[in-house]
Chain A
Amino acid sequence: MDSNRRDFLKILAGAGLGSLPTGWPGGALADVTSLPGYPNQYGVLVDTTVCIGCRRCEWACKEANKLPNQQSLKEYEKDQGAFRTIRRTHADTFTVVNRFDNPRDSAKPIYVKKQCMHCYEPGCASSCFVKAFTKRPEGAVTYDASLCVGCRYCMAACPFDIPAYQYDNAFTPEVTKCNFCFEKIRQQGGVPACAAICPVETMTFGKRTDLIDLAHKKIRDNPGRYVNHVYGEGEVGGTSWLYLSGVPFNMIGFRTDLGTVPIPTYSKPFLSLVSPVFIVIPALAMGVYSFKKRRDQLAEDEVRKALEKKEKK
């Protein structure tokens, strides 16, 4: 059904809108949900039991993406005030480290880095009506500001509350989010800025399939250190970024009620109704209309006949 609709739209695009800019990127109309994960995509495994909360990754992220309100690296390491509240991503911050109490050892709080999870089947991409988001074979979910109209549906559709908006930019606001340092990782040996700077190797960058194996091996080899769950392995259909934790994930700011259904799947049944409606309803409507016309015609004839009879008499 959906591939039919896509072909139909392609034909429409070719036939009706000749003025469309040529040179569409290959597969621009490709179906997001027909990508059951690129086999060679990269990922990052975040071991929250290792993180020391130095916030160097935050600094490196701002540096790599040339984000505003940058401070010196020392400032980041010194500033413990940032941990007083639980923060989320913002227009000038693609990643944040939050601090949570450790129920096992109150002297050792748990630090959790937060950024785009780079879903297999991203809700943002399926929400976008101009296809500004792309799931790359490398795993990154990238955003093209040159297409964005600013409807902010992606922000509402993201189950992890990641995309932010430049509300204070009056004329050219953009959606902002981590892009997995796409330009770096698409090159041989490239590593995301946050993972490269981490002094304690909280983050392991690699092929996602390898990272899944590594995560489970870590859980197996260190009984008692981790809860037996790799967050992101199945959540909303799987994400490129994966997490390990020593305490249940809902205690360190993760939503554990998201399920394993990819977000785009929820709107599929409705979207597949589109073509049937355009085929069935006009047929039914014309049928009703013809019945009505015929009924009126018969009634008219009846009246005319009755009148003629009267006149003859």
Chain B
Amino acid sequence: MNGATTASEFRPSWVQEKLFLGMTWKDYLRSNYTPFNAVAAFILAIGIPVIMYRLIYGLGPSTNLSDNNPWGIWIGFDMLCGVALAAGGFVIGTAVHLFGMKDYNFLFRPAVLTGFLGYLFAIIALTFDLGRYYRIPYPMVVSWGVNSVLFLVAWHVALYLGCQFVEWCPAIWEWLNLKKLRRFFIKATLGATIFGVCLSMLHQSALGSIFLLMPEKLHPLWYSEYIPLWFFMSAIVGGLAMTIIESMASHRIFAHQIKNHDPDLLDRVTLGLGKATSVTLFAYFFMKIIGIAHGNSWAYLDTGYGYWYLVEILGFVLLPAFAMMYAVQNGLAGMVRSWAIVVVLGIILNRVNHSIIAFNWHLPWADRYVPHWMEVVLTVTVVTIGILTFRWIMNRMPILYEHPDFEPEQH
């Protein structure tokens, strides 16, 4: 801004280089006056007081939770959807590091970063839901309820957060130029990936298995012994679809970071992911049908809940499966991307159905749960902070591109 001469003499300090993107504090501040940040600031201005209100006055005044409806959107959306849609790290990690699909390697870091932050912020949102959030380490260190599915979820989500950190942290060491640490953690990637596959399989399905204890409260179209399998399969779908969306968005928003960006490669990989999504969706659809056959719940299809179920299963599972198949066969990467959004909405619909809409279906409407506005605001706030964190990291660390000073990863 002050002309070329001063710019070449200006030597950024460590803080300026690492934190302020090589700018002075003033320039950095000025660069942040953007419409996007204005919206984010508006959300935080309302959201952070709401979070404080929740922490000071408790769950009663800040939520519509009740004795009949102990769980709301903080569980049904933040936790269940957050974790299912963060499965991309596990799916891409398996493809790249176990199956050796090298084409997808450039998706690995962004996918693992999305996964890591997805889990992290799902846990942060969960904290606000816990009555005594300050006891969150209790299932690890104080008392072990080994018969609880939730015990498994707590342990596995915590361990998996560690796995994803190991998979992703070489980016931090490259950013901070710590070569030895980087080498150590790159060697650990394979182990973390395998451990992460086990953990993901179990906790993704365990999140559904939570509902196994509630056959008398969850609608028969959603309740089945197959819930664990349904949740696992749909998490794979969610991870794939989110990777499609996330790679499209970040290659657009952060395009300036990628020197030799190859749009054809991205399209090819998107079609590959679309194919995988389509196949998994078909398999998932048939498992859902087998669940109905197994529980012999056909008669429920011709009821109000049945029609709602059909909207989910036909409109958000079968239709995207066919659409993705069509798009892949005709090489339409753009169409894959649009339908990936439908698929993600379908996963959200499924999780919300399980935890809220089809839950307590036997109760009269007056006793049913509708979220309080503060619950919605808190959820939006946590998601916003998640996106801001994602952007902060993307702007600083080598996520989309390979750091020029380091050799490519090998294990």
Contacts and interface: CB of A to CB of B under 8 A. Distances in A.
Interface of A: 5-6, 9, 13, 17, 19-21, 28-29, 31-33, 88-91, 123, 125-132, 147-153, 155-157, 159, 161, 163-174, 255, 257-259, 263-264, 266-267, 269-271, 273-274, 277-278, 281-282, 285-286, 288-289, 292-293, 295-296
A129 B148 contact: yes
Given A152-B70, A273-B202, A277-B198, A159 B147 contact: no
A292 B151 contact: no
Nearest to B146: A9
Instruction: Place the interface of chain B in its size category.
Output: 35 or more
20 contacts: A90-B67, A128-B150, A129-B145, A129-B154, A130-B145, A148-B135, A150-B130, A151-B130, A152-B71, A153-B70, A170-B55, A170-B60, A173-B59, A267-B147, A270-B149, A271-B149, A271-B152, A277-B201, A285-B98, A289-B97
Contact of B212 (A152, A163, A267, A282): A267
B383 interface: no
Interface of B: 55-61, 63, 65-68, 70-71, 97-100, 129-133, 135-136, 138-139, 141-154, 190, 193-195, 197-198, 201-202, 205-206, 209-210, 212-217, 225, 228
Nearest to B355: A156
Given A170-B56, A271-B152, A289-B190, A149 B70 contact: no
Interface centre among A165, A174, A296 (most CB of B within 10 A): A165
A126 B147 contact: yes
Contacts of B98: 285, 288-289, 292
B206 A270 contact: yes
Contacts of A90: 67
Please provide the 3 A-B residue pairs with the shortest distance between their CB atoms, ordered closest to farther: A150-B131, A170-B58, A167-B60
A266 B212 contact: yes
B216 A257 contact: yes
B71 A156 contact: yes
Contacts of A153: 70, 148, 150, 210
Contact of A170 (B57, B99, B193): B57
Contacts of B146: 5-6, 9, 29
A19 B129 CA distance: 28
A286 B147 contact: no
